[in-house]
Amino acid sequence: MGFLFGFGGRFTRLDWWSVMVFSTTLIAFSVVLLAYQHGLTPQALLAIVNKGELSTVRLELLAAAALPVLSALWALAAATVKRLHDLGKSAWWLLTLAVPLVGLVWQVGECGFVAGDEGDNRFGADRRAAPARLARDGEPMTPQGPSPHRLERAVMASAAKQAHLARNGRRSYHM
């Protein structure tokens, strides 16, 4: 659930678009289905919203639509924050949505079409890196195997182990 509802980490453009499409579809489907069940056609619901007469909408309709709509809005916010993290920006950039129309256009353009930071940034590891190319401890590997730094550390650790065993009077025949 942290993938969808958590605010930490990074999202690729594909992840962000997937959540956007799923969440907006869920919101639209929930509202239309519940309105239809309560005797409101989609056209009547649009007329109510356009006229600003939301007080005429039944309370049961609003309560039943609240859970899926609020869940989808939370997922949208979490996905946008993670996408901003992938771009190297903090969650405060979400406040650009407070600027009518311009904020929405900027947010969709920035999150939906601009490539994220290459490699790790202050918000986490790059999700575009192939999992097979990451070592067990998360250190990047070269296509030929572990990075030279990893090999160097392994050799140094082996030498330190051998020195420790030699100091304590034990011999090790393993390398």
Q: Is residue 62 part of a domain?
A: yes
Q: 33 pLDDT exceeds 90?
A: no
54 within a domain of the structure (yes/no):
yes
Q: Determine the pLDDT at residue 151.
A: 56
Do 147 and 107 reside in the same domain of the chain? no
| Joined tokens for residue 29 | 């489907």
Q: Is there a domain that residue 120 lies in?
A: no
Interval 45-70: pLDDT, tens: 777 777 766 555 666 666 777 888 89
Overall number of domains in the chain: 2
Does residue 118 fall inside a structural domain?
Answer: no
Q: Are residues 99 and 157 in the same domain?
A: no
What Cα–Cα distance (Å) separates residue 123 from each residue in 53, 76, 99, 161, 174? 43, 18, 26, 36, 41
Cβ burial 76-115 (10 Å sphere, 16+ → b, else e): bbbbbbbbbbbbebeeebbebeeeeeeeeeebeebbeeee
Structural domain range at position 159: 142-175
| 15 located within any domain | yes
Co-location of 106 and 161 in the same domain: no
Tokens of 39: 């005797």
Share of the chain above pLDDT 90, in %: 34
To the nearest whole number, what is the mean pLDDT of the chain? 78
- Tell me, what's the pLDDT at 47? 76
- Say which residue, 133 or 78, is predicted with more confidence: 78
Last residue of a domain, one of 113, 130, 160: 113
Looking at the fold, whether 149 and 106 belong to one and the same domain comes out as: no
Residue 169 falls in which region: left (phi positive, over 0), alpha (psi -120 to 50) or beta? left
- Predicted pLDDT at 166: 73
Q: Is residue 127 assigned to a domain? A: no
Q: 30-44, 80-94, 114-128, 134-148: which has the highest mean pLDDT?
A: 80-94
Residues 106, 148, single domain; the answer is: no
Residue 78 lies in a domain: yes
Does 132 map to a domain?
Answer: no
The residue assigned the tokens 């100091």 is 167
The last residue of one of the domains, among 113, 131, 164, is 113
Does 153 score more than 60 pLDDT?
Answer: yes
pLDDT tens profile 96-151: 999 999 999 999 999 999 998 888 888 888 887 755 444 444 555 554 455 555 55
